[in-house]
Amino acid sequence: MAETVLDRVQNDTLPSYDGELEGQDITGYTIKLNMRKPDGTSNTKTATFTDASKGQFTFDFVATDFDLVGDYDAQIEVTDGGGDKETFSSIVIQVEAEIPEGP
């Protein structure tokens, strides 16, 4: 699987991350984004389904999700209604320092 690199700025909440399991109905599924921050702590986001019948979902963020500068390793964990799980890895989120507003 090719590595996916996402660029973010510290404390930003947009853009959301939109995903799709092409050709799959994900009704009854649970999809999570597990992130390891640069300091080694972990954070998990649960997806909102934008169109479950078409396999479409999104992850929304809050400022504390990207509060540290550096590389975040991430995996998307998909669990179907029967409890079977598949994990997609090779996601790196690069967070750069926020430049403060001037006077």
Q: Which domains does the chain have, with CATH numbers?
A: 4-96 (2.60.40.3350)
In this predicted structure, the answer to whether residue 74 has a pLDDT above a threshold of 70 is yes
Rounded to 5°, angle at Cα 61 from 65 and 67: 25
- The neighbouring-strand residues paired with 74 are 35, 91
- The neighbouring-strand residues paired with 76 are 33, 88
11-54 confidence digits (pLDDT tens): 999 999 999 999 999 999 999 999 999 999 999 999 999 999 99
SS3 43: strand
Handedness of CA 35, 57, 30, 4 (dihedral sign): negative
Question: For position 72, what pLDDT does the model report?
Answer: 95
In this predicted structure, the answer to whether residue 4 has a pLDDT above a threshold of 90 is no
Question: For position 54, what pLDDT does the model report?
Answer: 95
Q: Strands (DSSP E) along 3-55, which ranges? A: 4-9, 17-20, 30-36, 42-46, 48-51
